[in-house]
Chain A
Amino acid sequence: MSTDRALAEIVGRERRLVLASLARRYELGVAEDAVDQAIELALVKWRAEGLPPEPGAWLHQVAQRRAIDAMRQLSIRAQYKERVAGEADEAAPAPELPHAVQDDPLRLVFTCCHPALAIEAQVALALRLLLGLSAEEIARAFLVSEPTLQQRLVRAKQKIRDAGVPYSIPERSELPERIEAVAAAVYLVFNEGYVATRGELARADLTAQAIRLGELLVSLMPAEPLPRALLALMLLIEARREARSDGDELVLLSEQDRSKWDVELIARGKALLVESLRLGAPSSYAIEASIQAVHADAARAEDTDWEQIVRLYAMLRARVDSPVVRLNEAAAISMAQGPRAALERLDLLKLEHLHLYWSTRADCLRRLAREPEAIECYERALTLTTNDAERRFLEGRIRALSVT
């Protein structure tokens, strides 16, 4: 391993810990700048002189000195805050080493993903402060300009400071709701990466970043069921990544080459799901992960236990009753009980703005040999989709039906 890679690895590991520890005593923006300066200095020094015996402690010390300097230069208000924080620290002595406080990284998680911040801001903060991605990387992944993203980060940190967003772990009574908010932000990152198709490598990489965040949540909250369910869901979907596209083409689940599925990710996902269910009542993430696990268990598409999937969708609907969940349930019913039963469900849905509604309906009609109606529905779907691969798939279906 090259020295640079070794250094990058150490810095990546220590950055979050040092930041999390400093953020308890200083404003988030001040703490972040101080850590960045300390890392810059460390890279120069360590390349020349080699690593100190405890790189984390070294970074912590230098960053702390930088933060104190910065506070001195700041406004009266900031100095006052430092003094107040200092007094609080005397009462409860601050740990010398960042590793001593397990809670600090968790505080950082809940501050970054605080529901008083816009979800785009939560996501940007999480990727920047929890994973150490650069503003440029995040901007590229979310298809916004770097100044826009920088502005978003600055505003979020200002709001944290001025609105008094606490640097703390929520109270027990608030915790489930707050963990859900964190999970929602992480899952949004994952979905951004999932919907990105070809040529958008930086975006597809977001699924990997979301999984890193998921792993962090599991390690920080080992007794909570939700982070495990979230990570399980992401891993089970990620396991099909290779099989999901063939060049530029989107490959439907039923058509996928299942030998391309990542068995290791599936095994990890299933294990996490089991652990999550053992820790507490199933969350919507756990139910969704269960649905993915049923798919993963089928060696061939025709072996899929659709009855089980229908039961899981009914469970999911009891928890989060959204039209999209009902649409997916109808699609599962079409496989388990046939297209006629599914059409009855689809008739009850008002989702005429969604291409998936029309393509699901079209598929049921096609299987009932009602070709003209099927073609009409595929055409409706075609006018609504924005995805090229999806478009080609629908056009293919229309062509096939028109021939017969």
Chain B
Amino acid sequence: MDYTLLIYASESKFGEMTPEQQGAIFEGHNVFSKELIGTGRGRSGAALEPAATSTCLRVRDGKALLTDGPFAETKEQLGGFYTFSTNNVDELVSMASKIPDAAYGSIEVRPLPDMPGRPPYPPVAAKPADAKKEYLLLIYEDEKRWTKLSEAEKGKIFGRYFQLSSELRQTGLWVDGAALATSDTAKTVKLRDGKRLVTDGPFAETKEQLGGFYQVWARDLDHAVSLAKKIPAAETGTIEVRPVMDVSQFMKP
């Protein structure tokens, strides 16, 4: 099973650290991502720009509404994620607790289920030269809404997602993307004073939950928003558009 390891941490706590401590966290991610890649079962990951750079999109009655800031104004914010494949829950929790931010934040672990009826996807085309900035499009939706839909309705919506995923691959804008299993399947992992704390359930109990994401290349924010508008959940939930941090200057190859 594939899992996403969502990193929630207080940006102000990070901001208050000394440059050495911050450097240690970057270095920790460097070590962690090497270990992840070393297992041959790490698929992807991203570090995000601070929540203040976020923009939320809602499409209602065909009109796009943008608002400044992240989806939820909480003390601890999503700061990045990794994906990892394992069939051993102990290994999963152990990996999650090795993420440097687990020591002062929380790691929410969520399965990435196979999507029923998913067609074979086309290969990812070459990235357009003018698409220089990476964005994460975070999909927030009321999970209860899903349980009320008929199989036919769900299939129709899945079809639109598959279509968008194919389109992003064909245009070379695709980096990654996944649908998350519902939040009741989540586990939250913390490391405090060297001790591992594992709780069932998501990091935050909210009505609208993170249900999936796309990671894309775009020319600028307007381009990223135009891609976000194609996500079906934009019409019923919220899409948070957050720039991905360029970590090449921190991460050693």
A residues contacting B by CB (< 8 A) are 76-77, 84, 114-118, 121, 155, 158-159, 162-166, 168, 170-171, 174, 177
Closest CB of chain A to B80's CB: distance in Å?
15
Which residues of A have CB within 8 Å of B66? 115-116
Which residues of B have CB within 8 Å of A164? 133, 135, 218, 220-221, 224, 243
Which residues of A have CB within 8 Å of B249? 76-77
Contact A162 B49 (CB under 8 A): yes
Given A76-B249, A77-B246, A121-B68, does the pair A159, B222 have CB atoms closer than 8 Å? no
Closest CB of chain A to B233's CB: distance in Å?
19
**Is B149 close to A, CB under 8 A?**
no
**Is B207 close to A, CB under 8 A?**
no
Given A118-B69, A159-B68, does the pair A166, B219 have CB atoms closer than 8 Å? yes
Question: How would you classify the secondary structure of chain B's contact residues: helix, strand, loop or mixed?
Answer: mixed
Contact A166 B246 (CB under 8 A): no
B residues contacting A by CB (< 8 A) are 49-50, 52-55, 63-64, 66-69, 132-133, 135, 218-225, 241, 243, 246, 249
Contact A116 B68 (CB under 8 A): yes
Contact A155 B243 (CB under 8 A): no
Known: A164-B243, A166-B219, A177-B63. 13 other contacts (CB 8 A): A84-B132, A114-B221, A116-B225, A118-B67, A118-B68, A155-B52, A162-B49, A162-B50, A162-B53, A162-B243, A163-B241, A165-B222, A168-B220
Identify 9 residue pairs between A and B in the complex whose beta-carbon atoms are under 8 Å apart, listed by A's number.
A115-B66, A116-B68, A118-B69, A164-B218, A165-B220, A165-B221, A166-B221, A166-B223, A168-B222
Contact A158 B69 (CB under 8 A): no
Question: How distant is the Cα of A114 from the Cα of B54 in the complex, in angstroms?
Answer: 13
Question: How distant is the Cα of A117 from the Cα of B53 in the complex, in angstroms?
Answer: 10
Which residues of B have CB within 8 Å of A174? 222
Given A77-B246, A163-B49, does the pair A177, B64 have CB atoms closer than 8 Å? yes
Which residues of B have CB within 8 Å of A76? 249
Question: How distant is the Cα of A212 from the Cα of B241 in the complex, in angstroms?
Answer: 34
Closest CB of chain B to A10's CB: distance in Å?
34
Closest CB of chain B to A393's CB: distance in Å?
37
Contact B133 A159 (CB under 8 A): no
Question: How distant is the Cα of A54 from the Cα of B107 in the complex, in angstroms?
Answer: 60
Chain A residue at minimal CB-CB distance from B68: A118
Question: How distant is the Cα of A70 from the Cα of B137 in the complex, in angstroms?
Answer: 33
Closest CB of chain B to A117's CB: distance in Å?
5
Contact B53 A159 (CB under 8 A): yes
Closest CB of chain B to A53's CB: distance in Å?
38
Question: How distant is the Cα of A174 from the Cα of B220 in the complex, in angstroms?
Answer: 15
Question: Which 10 pairs across A and B sit closest by C-beta, in order of nearness?
Answer: A166-B220, A116-B55, A115-B66, A118-B68, A163-B53, A162-B53, A164-B220, A164-B221, A164-B133, A165-B221
Question: How distant is the Cα of A174 from the Cα of B229 in the complex, in angstroms?
Answer: 12
Closest CB of chain B to A24's CB: distance in Å?
13
Chain A residue at minimal CB-CB distance from B64: A177
Which residues of A have CB within 8 Å of B132? 84
Question: How distant is the Cα of A155 from the Cα of B69 in the complex, in angstroms?
Answer: 11
Question: How distant is the Cα of A164 from the Cα of B49 in the complex, in angstroms?
Answer: 11
User: Residue B68 contacts which of A117, A170, A171, A177 (CB distance < 8 angstroms)?
Assistant: A117
Which of A117, A164, A166 neighbours the largest number of chain B CB atoms within 10 Å of its CB? A164
Chain A residue at minimal CB-CB distance from B66: A115
Closest CB of chain A to B26's CB: distance in Å?
15
Which residues of B have CB within 8 Å of A168? 220, 222
User: Residue B54 contacts which of A121, A163, A166, A177 (CB distance < 8 angstroms)?
Assistant: A163
Question: How distant is the Cα of A76 from the Cα of B52 in the complex, in angstroms?
Answer: 22
Question: How distant is the Cα of A224 from the Cα of B225 in the complex, in angstroms?
Answer: 24
Which residues of B have CB within 8 Å of A155? 52
Question: How distant is the Cα of A117 from the Cα of B64 in the complex, in angstroms?
Answer: 14
Question: How distant is the Cα of A155 from the Cα of B132 in the complex, in angstroms?
Answer: 23
Question: How distant is the Cα of A158 from the Cα of B133 in the complex, in angstroms?
Answer: 16
Closest CB of chain A to B52's CB: distance in Å?
6
Chain A residue at minimal CB-CB distance from B223: A166
Which residues of B have CB within 8 Å of A162? 49-50, 53, 243
Question: How distant is the Cα of A278 from the Cα of B104 in the complex, in angstroms?
Answer: 62
Question: How distant is the Cα of A351 from the Cα of B49 in the complex, in angstroms?
Answer: 42
User: Residue A163 contacts which of B67, B219, B221, B246 (CB distance < 8 angstroms)?
Assistant: B221
Closest CB of chain B to A125's CB: distance in Å?
12
Question: How distant is the Cα of A117 from the Cα of B55 in the complex, in angstroms?
Answer: 8
Contact A163 B243 (CB under 8 A): yes
Closest CB of chain B to A23's CB: distance in Å?
14
Question: How distant is the Cα of A116 from the Cα of B225 in the complex, in angstroms?
Answer: 10
Chain B residue at minimal CB-CB distance from A117: B68
Which of A76, A115, A166, A171 neighbours the largest number of chain B CB atoms within 10 Å of its CB? A115
Question: How distant is the Cα of A275 from the Cα of B107 in the complex, in angstroms?
Answer: 59
Which residues of A have CB within 8 Å of B241? 163
Question: How distant is the Cα of A158 from the Cα of B68 in the complex, in angstroms?
Answer: 13
Which residues of A have CB within 8 Å of B135? 164
Chain B residue at minimal CB-CB distance from A160: B221
Chain B residue at minimal CB-CB distance from A166: B220
